[in-house]
Structure 1
Amino acid sequence: MTAEFDHVTRNETEMDSIHERWLGDRNRGRGGHEYEESWAGEQCGGCRFWVPLAGRVGHDYGVCANALSPFDGRVRFEHDGCDVFADAGRWLIPEDFG
């Protein structure tokens, strides 16, 4: 017998847990002494290679699609970044892809 379940979570507590867990994988935490102010304008959400996830979680997370990035193919926080940032000219959101 196969268990039936809703594969898409809509539970706010679970979504918050996912958010907190994924935050630990950031490349550029703003609280560190090594954080450079120039990085503030080079965040994943404004990169042309940023593909936001769908729904509520997509307003905070997306996938990097830059083959030159060490994060290519990985889920990233919108305010994170890397050394191969490519400016999209604006912040990208899930509705841009729907």
Structure 2
Amino acid sequence: MTAGGPWTGDNRDHNDACHTRWSVSLNRSTTQRDYLDEWYDAQCGACRYWIALNGQLGQDYGACTNPASSFDGRVRFEHDGCAQFVGREDGSFG
């Protein structure tokens, strides 16, 4: 971190600590045994309501802006998901 400069969010130790803290709140982990195949195509990073954060954290995390989702207003991992998924018209991810 640069003293006196604007916070850019690009600090590896800080970002790793965030990932560790935030990953405990995953709704659907791709490593869980009961992860359904159809969830691979319905991950947050492909939802029209998922907006990536800036900086390095934005490579994996974004905010849910879906008013129908219980995760509205929360930071979500791009590979997480929920029942309120709405795919992007252009099929993009992230």
Task: Classify the TM-score, shorter chain.
Answer: 0.7 to 0.9
Q: Distance in 1 between matches of 2:56 and 2:10?
A: 9
**How much has 1:82 moved relative to structure 2?**
0.3
**Residue in 2 aligned with 1:41?**
41
Alpha-carbon RMSD across the aligned residues, in angstroms, is 1.6
Alignment of 1:30 onto 2:27 = no
TM-score using structure 1 length: 0.82
SS at structure 1 position matched to 2:63: strand
Q: Which runs of 5+ in 2 are unaligned?
A: none
SS at structure 2 position matched to 1:24: helix
* Identical amino acids, percent of aligned pairs: 43
Structure whose alpha-carbon radius of gyration is higher: 1
Q: Distance in 1 between matches of 2:37 and 2:6?
A: 40
Q: Distance in 1 between matches of 2:5 and 2:13?
A: 16
1:45-97 alpha-carbon deviations (Å, 9 max, x no partner):
000001111111001000000000010000000000000111112113xxxxx
Q: Which runs of 4+ in 1 moved over 6 A?
A: none
